[in-house]
Amino acid sequence: MTDPVRLHDRYPELGNGNLPVAPYIDPAYYDLEKKYLFKRTWLHVGRVEEIARVGDYVVRELPVLDSSIIIARDRSRQVRAYHNVCSHRLNRVAYEPAGNTRKFFCKFHGWAYDLDGSLSGVPDEKSFINFDKKCYGLTPVSVDTWNGFIFINLDPNPSVSLKDFMEPMYAGFEDYPFEKFTACYSWNAVVGCNWKVALDAFQETYHVGYVHGRSIAYALLKDEDGNLHPIDGICGTHHRRLSIAGDPDTVYGNPQAATAAADRDVGHNQVGHKIAAKALKVAQGGTKLDFSDMKLPEKLNWTKHSTWAFDINVVFPDFYLSCRPNYFQAYNFRPVAHNKTLFEARVYYPEMATSGGRFYQEYMKTALRDVLLEDLSTLESTQRAAETGAKQEMVIQDFELMVRHQAVVIDRLIEEGLRRDGQLQAAE
């Protein structure tokens, strides 16, 4: 009998040994991640629909950047980002997590800033000496958008544009109708674990048969031994992707549910829990827009698997984007401390036009909530166990390659950063 093809064989440069536990528990390693990853790369902070109108803004508190960042739409409809720090004596200028405003006013001495960040009003300006208002705007932060997702970069001169950062892995995603999925629901949770412990639980399928054994495991495609292997995985310079197959006779494993035209024969033999089966049946043709003939990007389901269900895309470092023909999930695993993470889950659906569609959407919302609770259930105890020092290494199987890829990329970036800063001798 020949050995199955291994994902690891395609990426020999990633190695195949055990992974060290230290990067998950060491505060000094976390400081290096902040300095050499998070403060120097593009980070997803939201979607353009959140600041659709002139004057709309959101404030992102990002402990991993030691910063509070305002993202706003200015009068020329351009998306701007700047530090939430007044140029006078450093008070904040935005106080709500989101809103609409004509200007940002500092509540300490009343300085006013326009939506483009320029300083426009200074009470008793004549009492300042050699003062030029033009020099004291809010400190800008690099910002750009990719398919409606807003990214910021704390590096004032990013070494790579957002386009060049995304394209090696995600060129072609502009054909995905992100903007048509306008019904959004979300959950946030602060979890007592390292951000990588949390993200790892979402970038492998090995756990599905166990953690999700009583919820969604039945809906995903298993081999004859009952193991849930991804169809394929791709590791890039930064990002990574996994492709997953499902059972189209289940509501969770059918990527066309709700979007198919009503005369399509979707899920006629639905399996699984009774309510789930009902949700699949009544969902047919439930969306306002008919997505049944939608042309998806070639790069989704890149193996062209017949029962492909969804792709998991991990946009480095902490953005998880799972795209399906009928909805997408956008999660962030935002580090708060070396052992604390803010998990932000957002799910975007098309608007439903029928009561069946609404039922499907509510079912999926509740089902996903339960699945997420299952995913989160192991994280804090894993972190505590890691911190006992009982184990110095973790064992990784072939389909946990993405966990390994993440560790290797982070190590590489930290090493490059230390070398640039002269803190590490160049390799012999």
Which of helix, strand or coil describes residue 256?
coil
* Least gap, CB of 105 to ligand FES (angstroms): 9
* Least gap, CB of 296 to ligand FES (angstroms): 49
Q: Tell me: does residue 111 bind ligand FES (CB under 6 A).
A: yes
Number of residues that bind ligand FES (CB under 6 A): 10
CA distance 2 to 112: 71
User: Judged by CB under 6 A, which of 109, 163, 391, 419 binds ligand FES?
Assistant: 109
User: Judged by CB under 6 A, which of 106, 282, 314, 330 binds ligand FES?
Assistant: 106
Close Cβ partners of 421 (under 8 Å, ≥ 6 residues apart) = none
Query: What residue 88 binds from Fe ion, ligand FES, none (CB within 5 to 8 A, per partner kind)?
Result: ligand FES
Query: What residue 172 binds from ligand FES, Fe ion, none (CB within 5 to 8 A, per partner kind)?
Result: none
Query: What residue 375 binds from ligand FES, Fe ion, none (CB within 5 to 8 A, per partner kind)?
Result: Fe ion
- Which CB, 8 or 212, lies closer to Fe ion? 212
Residue with tokens 């502009």: 174
* Helix locations, 99-223, DSSP H: 162-170, 195-200, 208-211
Q: Tell me: does residue 88 bind ligand FES (CB under 6 A).
A: yes
Q: Are 388 and 381 in contact (CB under 8 A)?
A: no
Query: What residue 106 binds from ligand FES, Fe ion, none (CB within 5 to 8 A, per partner kind)?
Result: ligand FES
Task: Indicate if the alpha-carbon torsion angle 151, 11, 208, 387 is positive or negative.
Answer: negative
Q: Tell me: does residue 91 bind ligand FES (CB under 6 A).
A: yes
Query: What residue 91 binds from Fe ion, ligand FES, none (CB within 5 to 8 A, per partner kind)?
Result: ligand FES
Residue with tokens 């029962």: 307
CA distance 80 to 73: 6
**Smallest Cα–Cα separation from 43: which of 238, 193, 189?**
238
* Least gap, CB of 125 to ligand FES (angstroms): 12
- Which CB, 68 or 378, lies closer to ligand FES? 68
Ranges within 364-423 binding Fe ion (CB under 5 A): 375
* Least gap, CB of 139 to ligand FES (angstroms): 13
Q: Tell me: does residue 133 bind ligand FES (CB under 6 A).
A: no
∠ at Cα 323 (193, 408), nearest 5°? Answer: 45
Query: What residue 292 binds from Fe ion, ligand FES, none (CB within 5 to 8 A, per partner kind)?
Result: none
Query: What residue 309 binds from ligand FES, Fe ion, none (CB within 5 to 8 A, per partner kind)?
Result: none
Q: Tell me: does residue 139 bind ligand FES (CB under 6 A).
A: no
**Number of neighbouring beta carbons within 10 Å of residue 158:** 18
**Smallest Cα–Cα separation from 147: which of 183, 165, 172?**
172
Query: What residue 108 binds from ligand FES, Fe ion, none (CB within 5 to 8 A, per partner kind)?
Result: ligand FES
Of 107-115, 125-133, 167-175, 349-357, the segment contacting ligand FES by CB under 6 A is 107-115
* Least gap, CB of 104 to ligand FES (angstroms): 10
**Number of neighbouring beta carbons within 10 Å of residue 2:** 4
* β-pair partners for 45: none
**Smallest Cα–Cα separation from 375: which of 325, 399, 341?**
341
Q: Are 72 and 140 in contact (CB under 8 A)?
A: no
* Least gap, CB of 91 to ligand FES (angstroms): 4
CA distance 186 to 272: 26
Of 109-117, 233-241, 338-346, 392-400, the segment contacting ligand FES by CB under 6 A is 109-117
* Least gap, CB of 107 to ligand FES (angstroms): 8
Q: 349 vs 163, 255, 375, 420, CA distance in Å? A: 26, 12, 21, 44
**Number of neighbouring beta carbons within 10 Å of residue 239:** 21
User: Judged by CB under 6 A, which of 70, 71, 81, 86 binds ligand FES?
Assistant: 86
Is 160 buried (19+), middle (13-18) or exposed (0-12) by CB count in 10 A?
middle
For residue 245, what are its two tokens? Answer: 């197959």
Chain contacts with ligand FES (rule: CB under 6 A): 86, 88-91, 106, 108-111
Please report, as ranges, the residues that interact with Fe ion according to CB under 5 A: 375
